[in-house]
Structure 1
Amino acid sequence: MVGEMALSELPADLSEHARVMQRVHEAVLTGSRPPVRPRGVVERSWSRMLDLGLDVSGSPRAMVPLPDLELRRRRSGLEPVIGELRQLLSRAAETSPFLVVVTDADGVILWRDGASRVRAYADALGFAEGARWTEATVGTNAVGTALVEAAPVQLLAAEHFESAQHPWYCCAAPVHSPVTGELAGVVDISGPALTLHPAIGALVETSVRLAESGLWRVHEQRLERLRRTAEPVLGGVGEPLLVVDDDGWVAVRSGIAAGPRVAVPREGLPLAVAGLGLCTPERLGEGWLLRPRRERGPMQAELDLSGDPVVRVHGGDGSWSAGLTRRQAQVLALIARAGPAGVDAAVLGRGLFGDDGHAVTARAEVSRLRRVVGDLVAPAPYRLADGVSLTVTGEA
């Protein structure tokens, strides 16, 4: 069996690997026994393509109109760092036979740079700005497969599903926002198959690190602006409070030993913050002022599963409720049953899915839950916050 290939690894003989993969590709698509099994990432992707009924000869590319493309560029969150990223990659692309592509989290190509001869070939493939380069639209490819696998992917020649992409290599890796933890997009380098070099993988990985560190730098600058905005407002205030940005990151803390982040504030929605109790977020510049309601005390929460899941919270001088998805309700119930000791992501993943290997997914589920219920759920380990009790009603 052909082993897994990291971005920094290459087969010893590119030509031989390409020839073998061509025979494997033909065998798999005709239902014959392949001479060797494809790498696991390739085998999984081909299986998805066959299930989707995709044609190896390709199909018309789905293109995003220019106004929508500009909107996607702004919403991707990558605009603040794209200049630095393109500067790093474009210099290499101008003198090398490869193409540099940055997509959003939906696989839509936002920016593209590279040598003119490679751009012309990419245009013929529909590998252009505005194209949606997901597995469902163009078959197995590094961008789309990296999105599905949530991991770096390198593909060579006939490891691609579409025949037109066989003369091509591609190396891609996801970029995540260090602020929200969410997928922001993908960086990809592609070029003629037999020109693939070990340095390409390292360049992709360096680009991802550069983008993520740049996004964190922009985040720190935003927090500093928020601190300056808060200074004249908070002068002389003696009560416990927090000032946080729109993602819940703490810029100022006073009279409370808070962590670096709380749940995301919502206009008009009471927010449960450990150590403060129920707060009503007040808009302050680019962020929010969080301070307790007049009375503080324990909070009682009820998870009602008799219909569509609802969590109801009572504490201090107010109460609030919020609808949950079935998955969010399941996560909250598992965390509550864990008791004061809490539960880590691995154990929570087993409780949700029945087996190991879902820790990353479990962390994402908790993140989504905390956007709704705030700091009712405390992190590391996941548990109900101090002073919070929860009962579950309406279980089948």
Structure 2
Amino acid sequence: MATGHLAGGTAGENGSLAGLRAEVAESWHRSAAAGVRADVSEAPITLPADQLQDYRAAHPLAAVFPLLDDILGQAARDTGAVMAVSDAGGQLLWVCGASAALRGAESIGFVEGSNWDERLAGTNAPGLALQLDRPAVVLGAEHFRSSVQAWSCAAAPIHDPSTAGLLGVLDVTGGSEVALPQTMAMVRAAARMAESELAREAGARRRTEPPMRGTHVQIEALGRAEALVTVWSEGVSSPPLRLSRRHSEVLVLLAGADRGLTGDELALLLYDEDGGSSTLRAEVNRLRGLLGGELLLSRPYRLAADLAADWLAVEARAASGDVRRALRGYRGPLLPQSIAPGVAALRDGVHGAVRQAVLNSGAADLMSTWTRSAWGADDYEMWVAQRASLTPGSPMRALVDGQLARLDREFG
């Protein structure tokens, strides 16, 4: 087992963020804002031993853990490392590896039932992969907690192939061997293999069930100048389609109108000034040609499909109190470059709902994520609320005070 700091971006001896990769520095900020202490040696246990076995037996990843253990787990044992599989909340469900490595992992609390969400355990690869929803590597001194800085880890998320929802994270933790590109490649390949196996099993189940009927549409428009649309028909999906800005506006407006819109209503929401009925009809006809006549109906204009949209999901999560997932799904304002009046109103509504949910949460790490975004950097009220949520000795206090001073200078 390698000890000491490994190659790559590292923190200075005094804990400075200088030299850290940007995504790691952001994670340090989130960890500090959540109140994680760098001098705490172990991660917390959030899944007690008496609940662990039943919980993981019912987890979807239980079906592919034997495959992961046979492939990546054996490689971890052979190299003196540890393989772990977590759920979508960061709880480690399975940890396996060489005996000496497992004993070392116990000293930092890297054990089954412990939680490595970065809000609880500080910056680490499983937690970062959960936060970013993509593969992540954290090397040596890039870890937030001092006790973990003798280790390095590489992790990749595993998704449900049917819904694209996050199921958990696959991780390899060890010494200098984890810094090699081959390790990350193996972890990513094993995660994709698990998803393929889950898809194969889901396909086998579907062959014994009636096929999904009707048309289903998924729209992604948060943080995008142009919407991305995927259409499923009888269970088969089309390639994602990127719409023009005007077609994106039309689709977003219709997605928000359950009963449909008349031509006059759609025109008022779409144009600053009277765009003319012929212009609107031409735009809708072109969009119908792209999506299919059976999907976009007239009199009134409406979508004849089951609909999923990223901004609607974010609003629902914020309304239900699931602020963390709402903020994670909020990739930016809805069609941010659109000046269509109806889109602007929808954009303001979604943005305001997420912002207020973050404010009401009182969670310093969520407020920190907001103020470090492009759309929240100048949000004075959020900075003030973030400052009020910090403990007196928080290392984040100086940063927050500095940003409030900047806004006072710039805006008075």
With normalisation by structure 1, the TM-score equals: 0.54
Q: Percent identity between the aligned chains?
A: 29
User: Residue 37 of structure 1 aligns with which residue?
Assistant: 19
Distance in 2 between the 1:16 and 1:192 partners? 9
Residue 114 of structure 1 is matched in structure 2 by: 97
What residue identity is the alignment partner of 1:82? F
Matched position secondary structure for 1:93: helix
Q: How far did residue 60 of structure 1 move?
A: 5.6
Per-residue displacement from partner, 1:262-288 (whole Å, max 9, x unpaired)?
A: 9xxxxxxxxxxxxxxxxxxxxxxxxxx
Is 1:27 aligned with 2:14?
yes
Is the alpha carbon distance of 1:176 and 1:302 closer, same or farther for their aligned partners in structure 2, counting shifts above 3 Å? Answer: closer
Listed one character per residue, the Cα deviations across residues 211-238 of structure 1 (whole Å, up to 9, x for unaligned) are: 11011001100101115xx8xxxxxxxx
1:49 paired with 2:23, answer no
Tell me the distance in 2 between the aligned counterparts of 1:93 and 1:155.
Answer: 17
Aligned equivalents of 1:168, 1:367: Cα separation in 2: 37
Residue 224 of structure 1 corresponds to 207
Which whole-Å deviations, capped at 9, do the CAs of 1:50-95 have from their partners, x for residues lacking one?
A: 2223211116623312343234324532122221121111221222
Does the 8 Å CA contact 1:80/1:218 hold for their aligned counterparts? no
1:209 aligns with 2:153: no
Gaps spanning 5+ residues in structure 2: where?
Answer: 218-230, 237-253, 261-268, 271-279, 291-307, 318-341, 350-412
Alignment of 1:92-103 (within 5 A): 92-103=75-86
Structure-to-structure mapping, 1:1-396, within 5 angstroms: 18=6, 24-29=11-16, 36-58=18-40, 61-193=44-176, 196-227=179-210, 259-261=233-235, 340=284, 364-365=310-311
> CA–CA distance in 2 between the matches of 1:342 and 1:117?
61
1: distance between equivalents of 2:46 and 2:79? 27
Which secondary structure does the structure 2 equivalent of 1:111 belong to?
A: strand
CA contact (8 A) 2:213 2:234 kept: no
CA positional deviation for 1:243: 5.2
Residues in 1 aligned to 2:315 and 2:163: alpha-carbon distance in whole angstroms: 14
Give secondary structure in 2 for the equivalent of 1:103: strand
Secondary structure at the counterpart of residue 19 of structure 2:
coil
Q: Hey, which bits of structure 1, 4+ residues long, moved more than 6 A?
A: 14-17, 367-371, 393-396
Q: Which amino acid aligns with 1:191?
A: G
Residue aligned with 2:163, SS: coil
CA distance in 2, matches of 1:70, 1:101: 15
CA distance in 2, matches of 1:313, 1:206: 45
Aligned partners of 1:73, 1:170: CA distance in 2, in Å? 22
SS in 2 for 1:26: coil
Task: Note if contact 1:135-1:141 (Cα within 8 Å) is conserved in structure 2.
Answer: yes
| Structure 2 counterpart SS, 1:27 | coil
Higher RCO, Cα 8 Å, sep 6+:
2
User: 1:207 deviation in Å?
Assistant: 0.7
State whether residues 108 and 147 of structure 2, in contact with CA within 8 Å, keep that contact through their aligned partners in structure 1.
yes
TM-score computed with the length of structure 2 as normaliser = 0.53
Distance of aligned partners of 1:128 and 1:342 in 2 relative to their CA distance in 1, 3 Å threshold: farther
Change (3 A) 1:49 1:195: closer
User: How far off is 1:198 after superposition?
Assistant: 2.8
User: Take 1:118 and 1:258, find their aligned partners in 2: how far apart are those partners?
Assistant: 46
Match of 2:221 in 1: none
Contact 1:76 1:105 in 2 (8 A): no
Q: 1:55 to 1:302 in 2, by over 3 A?
A: closer
How many correspondences in the alignment?
A: 260
- Shift of the 87–156 alpha-carbon distance from structure 1 to 2, 3 Å rule, reads same
Structure 1 gaps of 5+ residues are 1-13, 231-241, 249-256, 263-300, 304-310, 315-332, 345-361, 372-389
Q: In 1, distance between residues paired with 2:5 and 2:287?
A: 49
Contact 1:100–1:188 at 8 Å: present in 2 too?
Answer: yes
Equivalent residue letter for 2:13: E
1:156 is displaced (CA, Å) by 1.0
- CA apart distance, 1:106: 0.5
Query: Deviations 1:310-334 (Å, cap 9, x if unpaired)?
Result: x7659xxxxxxxxxxxxxxxxxx99
Instruction: State the secondary structure of the residue aligned to 1:125.
Output: coil
Distance in 2, matches of 1:370 and 1:258, equals: 23
Aligned-residue CA RMSD in angstroms?
Answer: 4.6
